[in-house]
Amino acid sequence: MSLLLLFASPPIPALPANQQLKIYGKPINHRHLKSSRVSATRDDVDAFTEKSSYLFKLSSTDADSIVEYDLRKIASVYRRKPLILLRRVFQVGTTFGWWFGSRFVDELMERSDQMFPVRAAELRKILVELGPAYVKIAQAVSSRPDLIPPSYLDELSLLQDQITPFSSEVAFNTIEQELGLPIDELFSEISPEPVAAASLGQVYQARLRQSGRVVAVKVQRPGVQAAISLDIFILHFIAGLIRKARKFNTDLQELDYKIEAKNGLKFRQLYGGIQDVLIPEMYVEQTTRKVLIMEWVEGQKLSEVKDLYLIEVGVYCSFNQLLEKGFYHADPHPGNLFRSYDGKLAYIDFGMMGEFKEELREGFIEACLHLVNRDFDALAKDFVTLGLLPPTAEKEAVTKALTGVFQNAVAKGVRNISFGDLLGNLGATMYKFKFRIPSYFSLVIRSLAVLEGIAISSNPNYKVLGSTYPYIARKVLTDSSPQLKSSLVALLYKEGVFRIDRLESLLTESLRARTEKALIKKQTEDTDSRLITKEILSFTLTEKGAFVREILLQEFAKGLDALGIATLDYFTSAVIPFAAPFSFSSLTEEDRINLTNLRRLLLLLSRVQSSKSASVEVKEGSIYKNQTTYSEEASLVFYQLASAQEVLPILSVIPELPPELQQEFLHLPADLAGRLISRAAARTIRRMFL
């Protein structure tokens, strides 16, 4: 169920606890309340209960036997109730038959496009009337472009499962039966009507008698477990959706509030310490399978307030779930995210949670890296790792398709990539090629799409992938995983050639969030360039940056070695002109590339403006394409030597670093010198004997 706490409702007044139950301050005779529940009725019964109440006829023994999705146990229950089974099959079949028949007539009359909005609205109404199982299925497939034509995805994503509440008298009776105490001994106050209702249950606001704390009391809708188990049992045979979606075991777990309470407790332990994130406390000891008691949170739906900061908090928390811990919120629709009145992002409703295995987390990171860097061949392999494609898929065709889908979108730059656009484009391709999306991945996609959708309502230019890429970049630069280290090396080197532009992108993006936050809050008087230089140095000198530091030292050694050879060539040509043709130290193509990388490394650390860097690219490009003379090589060398002035901004920030990092910096020259000596010795031996 979607736990939609409508916080606009007035809070329970602070009244002293006593032995008389109060509903919004009015004393209620408990004996009268209890006796009135039997005859209480409601005129505003929801469509599902009105049409399908016969599904609720299960004994407590039968109900207990289908707490978890077990096809054998469910079959044994409904084998004894063939009339209920046949009646439900007839009801579902005729309902969908009418809708598909209408669509068929539209096609025959060539009015499908004209009638699409009408049929879409009818479909949403049908799903709600058929009950929570179909609502949950529709919500699940709304992020499954491999199962549903793209034209229907937007319509299904709008589906809400809010329905008319059931009787409060029935709810209060359920609370007493489940907790084994009269309601006035449990609570000193409780709201007379639910503050929110959905297909699986409804929520009341109450005050615990013992502690006086205000809580949310979630009560399961009577008979809903029997109805969902029967519908899933039927769908298993008539549609095969269970085998494709593979998420209904989770849906049945959502009916056990004890599991939800444990999920909430774990979620609070893992992510409750994140700044400006609020996870309500769970009262596990006072929770049963049908009644959940949790801390009440005052606030508003995040989708109803314009707070981009909390969107960023949500993005950070989501990627912490997906990339760090692997335990993530699997039902992240807008109704489950709130802005508390003290300005925090509150998560509620923990009935559906997911586990993201480490190998899948790493595969997801690699896919994001390859997407941003337009390495679509590697992206196709990532799709196999993530289970989106079978190992037997034709990689060339997939690469071509992905290039067509993503090329234009990614060319705009990582900060301008719209996750919604990517998802829409990919959806059409996946449906065409019959790709498959594992349930865990569809929930990840849905989580990111929800966050971007909420943000766009406040800022149309917001891009969730651009906001999250700094976390991805920092993860791949700092993680100790051998797989991610290997991926980083593969990303930075192609056929042995160092691609410094990719390292520059990763470093600047990984530090962007921190530097922008510091500048916005005016925590420093540094310029943007100076601050980034300081952050890059700080990062590479720490233990987490050790792997990147090794790469940088290796490339600096290559560049300085080539610089030395070029300098020797220049002076040899200048002092002994006739000796130039016999020089044994002429620059190779690799040396010229290393010189270029040295120049760009200095630019990276000193943060010289890109316009100056571009002029360098033009000069260097001519040398890459043509065999150069010694005078041209000498000009390049002196140009590189002149760039040594750019080291001064780097050195100027050293005194501002923490003492331990300054000490680490002092070790770098000796390390670099050792690498240079090793390269020079290897070069000499190679030229002498090869």
Q: Which helix (H) or strand (E) holds 138?
A: helix 132-141
For the question of residue 331 being annotated catalytic, the response is: yes
Query: Which amino acid is it at 264?
Result: G
| Integer-rounded Cα radius of gyration of the chain | 32
Q: What distance in Å separates the CA atoms of residue 494 and residue 506, rounded to the nearest whole number?
A: 16
Q: Is 116 exposed, middle or buried (0-12, 13-18, 19+ CB in 10 A)?
A: middle
CA terminus-to-terminus distance, the chain = 73
Beta-sheet strands, E only, within 462-528: 493-494, 497-498
Cα 614 to the center of its chain, rounded Å: 36
For 172, the enclosing helix (H) or strand (E) is helix 168-179
Answer whether 418's CB lies under 8 Å from 282's CB: no
Q: Which sign, positive or negative, has the C-alpha torsion 17, 19, 21, 24?
A: negative
Considering the candidates 46, 161, 251, 331, report the single residue annotated as catalytic. Answer: 331
353, containing H or E segment? strand 353-355
Helix (H) or strand (E) holding 672: helix 668-689
Tokens of 429: 């391709």
Q: Of 617, 6, 74, 651, whose CA–CA distance to 300 is shortest?
A: 6
Q: What is the dihedral of CA 237, 238, 240, 246, to 10 degrees?
A: -70
- Contact status, residue 331 vs residue 484, Cβ threshold 8 Å: no
Residues marked active site are found at 331
